[in-house]
Each structure stands twice: as structure tokens, then as C-alpha cells.
Amino acid sequence: PNQNLTTFCTTQMEPQATRLITEALNTNAIDKSEYPKTAAIEDNCVAMIGHMWNIPADEKFRDDFIGTSTVGSSEGCMLGGLAMLFTWKHRAEKAGMDVNDLHTHRPNLIIDSGYQVVWEKFCTYWNVEMRQVDLKGDEMSMDVDKAMSMIDENTIGIVGIQGITYTGAVDDIKLLDEKLTVYNETHKDMPVHIHVDAAYCGFFAPFVDGFEPWDFRLKNVYSINVSGHKYGMVYPGVGWVVWRKNTPEYLPEEMRFAVAYLGKSVDSIAINFSHSGAQIVGQYYNLVRFGVQGYRAIMNNVRRVSEKISKAIADAGYFSVLTDGSKLPIITWEMSKDVHPKWSLYDMQDQLLMHGWQVPAYPLPKDREDEIVQRIVVRPAMSMTIADDFIADFKSAIEELNKKRLFD
């Protein structure tokens, strides 16, 4: 697993955490009457994560804000999207719009073209028009001005991606919030708000320097999702979604269900029903075991490893580094326009695989498909020693490719 530089997913935990997860495999997280301690653990996790994203310390889970565990960040995205959709419908009906007239009032969602596939699924399942904003220049993130120009009365919301899968870049959610504040002042009947897809950044950015505000410090950020099995450092699959306020404006009543057939009435927000409480226990273990200082130490080390690998790639002389790991621990690069070897990034991918390393090469999304990049995901399990091994094999792969092409 340490040589898989493609995946974001956690592949190792402390032995004590693994034992706790194993012992909790037979629990059903939804059955809160039979497993009240698992339910309490879930609530504690949501509370800690909400405060990690800068919900004020004096505000309490359920009293002031709301959230739930999910089986991954994709379910969190679905829930965040549905909350925006139902909220838009209520506002549209109040404004006199016929929400059943899809020819005139088909809902739309604005998102940058580097989205994770769950957003395409959301728009397809719920008949929402996806309005894609091209990735902007060298920043490889949302063009905020272009996003604002796409808004109309049918816009249910804007998704800001805090960690674009393709590039490791982040959308400028602070700037987006500023522009939406101005927009909403003149569109009080149909305001537009933000859901932040922080699938892998949500457990990274709170513990390192260099990020502009992107979370609940911004007034137009209504909900955030994160994956616990990425930088939350839990085995797959667990995720979380939090809404800034526990009111129908943020989480509509249509998404709140009371289930009475499990012994007593149980509140349910998540899409999935029965699922093991094991990963929830694993998340709680990590939050308590490492705390703020522990996560900070781990994530800053991840950043140092990223920067070391990025420098080695840049120093190789064949590549232009696009995202260097100095912000998020994702390194992407393309072939330099100043050199013309007889091999491509796809060849590099294959050559590294011969050394055991999985390092994907792929085209960028919409309107930049002709740009081929390669990417490394640096996870907490990657030590400096593993990084040194990779760098040595990376250099060897270049030498091997150059020798092979001499005879082509």
C-alpha cells in the first residue's frame, strides 16, 4: 500500500485503533437505542469536526448546528446538494415560481470542472443542470468571476472545492463568499450559498498554515463535507457532513426523518440506513488520540514530505510542477515545454509501475483535455524514508526511459 501514490485512502492505523474497529464491526450505527454509546460517539465526532471548521466554541451540536456521519464524502456531497435543492424549491415557490416547470425553472448547480464524480451523479439523479466553470489558468481552480456570471434565479448553490482531485488546487472560497455577499444583498428572495466539498482538505487545512478562510468563518458557507478515510486517517469508509445552523433554512425538514421501529424514535439524516459503527469508533479514536496538536504534527510532516518530493521532480529537469505540495499534499506536474524527450508521462507511469509505484497520468478536465499531467498523493503513512526510495526510483525510471528510447 505504501507504493500506491494514486489513492487518498488510509491503509494503516495504530494497532489499538484496528482492534477497536474489529470489536465494533457488529454494531449497527443507525440503531441508536441498542447502541447508545456508538450514537454518543458519533455525536461527539460531529461536534468536534464542526468546531474544527470554526463553528464558535459556545455553540452546541443539535442546539445550534447539525450534522451526521456518512459512509464517505460522496454521501456527504449528496446530502449537501439535496439541502441546497430543497431550500431553493422553497424559496422559488415563495417567490411565485413554478418549480415543476422544468423548461423555465430547471434547477442548476455551479461547480468547477475539476469536480469529483459524485457531483455528476447528484445532478443526473435529481435532474439538476450542472454548470461547469473551467479551471482558471495556472491556478487550476475555479474562475470566481465566471462562476458569478452563471448565476440566475434557478441556481440552487455553488460548490466550492477545497482540494480539487485532478490538481490538488483549492477554489478561492473567500473571494466567492465576498462576491456572494454583494450579490445576495440585491437578491434577498433568491440568495445563493456555498457548499464546500472538502473531501480530503477538511482534515488537513485546519492544522497547517497557508490557507485563506474557507469554512464556517464565511457567512455564505452553509455546509461542508469531508472524508474520514482520507486525511481523517480512518480505514474506508466513513465521512461527515455538517450544516452551520440547525434550522430548516440550512437543513430542510424534508431531509429529517424519525424512525420509530427500532425500539424508540430515532432521528435519521443520512441516505444510508444500516451500517457498521466501526469506522465511527475509529474516527473517534483518532480525534481523541491525536487531538489538535497530534493532527498538526502529522499534517505538517506530510507537507514536508510533499515539498521534498516536489523539489526532486522539479530538479529532474524534464517537468513543470503545477502544484508543489506546499499547500495541499498533492503534487502534479506536466512535461516541460523546454525539453523534448522521446517518452511521455504515460511512459513514466508504466516505468514507475515496474518499480512498484502507482503514479497516474491523465488528462485535465473539460476544455483542458489536451493537457496531460501526473499526480502523487502524499498520505500520512508516507515517511521521509519512503520518499527517498521513491525519489531514487523516479530518477532511475528517467534513466531507463532515456536508454530505451535511444534504440527506438
Is 15-289's fold the same as 299-400's?
no
Range list of β-strands (E), 8-137: 66-70, 108-112, 129-133, 135-136
What digits encode the pLDDT tens for the residues 270-306?
898 888 999 999 999 999 999 999 999 999 999 999 9
Measured in residues, the chain has a length of 408
Which SS3 state, helix, strand or coil, does residue 195 take? strand
Range list of β-strands (E), 65-162: 66-70, 108-112, 129-133, 135-136, 141-142, 155-161
Q: C-alpha cell of 300?
A: 505538517
Other C-beta atoms within 10 Å of 94: how many? 10
- Best CA proximity match to 189, nearest among 288, 87, 277: 87
Task: Check residue 224 and give its pLDDT.
Answer: 99
Q: C-alpha cell of 252?
A: 430542510
Q: How do the pLDDT tens digits run along the chain, 408 residues long?
A: 899 999 999 999 999 999 999 999 999 888 777 888 999 999 999 999 999 999 999 999 999 999 999 999 999 999 999 999 999 999 999 999 998 888 899 999 999 999 999 999 999 999 999 999 988 877 789 999 999 999 999 999 999 999 999 999 999 999 999 999 999 999 999 999 999 999 999 999 999 999 999 999 999 999 999 999 999 999 999 999 999 999 999 999 999 987 765 555 567 898 988 889 999 999 999 999 999 999 999 999 999 999 999 999 999 999 999 999 999 999 999 999 999 999 999 999 999 999 999 999 999 987 788 899 999 999 999 999 999 999 999 999 999 999 986 555
8 Å CB contact between 214 and 205 = yes
What torsion do the CA atoms of 76, 82, 84, 85 make, to the nearest 10 degrees? 160
% pLDDT > 70, the chain: 97
Q: C-alpha cell of 134?
A: 473551467
Which sequence spans correspond to the domains of the chain? 15-289, 299-400
> What's this model's pTM, rounded to 2 decimal places?
0.95
Q: C-alpha cell of 94?
A: 415563495
CATH architecture designation of domain 15-289: 3-Layer(aba) Sandwich (3.40)
* CA 259/CA 272 separation, integer angstroms: 13
What digits encode the pLDDT tens for the residues 100-126?
888 899 999 999 999 999 999 999 999
Cα separations in angstroms, 272 against 68, 239, 268 = 11, 12, 9
> Residue 226 forms beta bridges with which residues?
240
Task: Check residue 406 and give its pLDDT.
Answer: 58
Among left, alpha and beta (phi > 0; psi -120 to 50; other), residue 112 is beta
CATH architecture designation of domain 299-400: Alpha-Beta Complex (3.90)
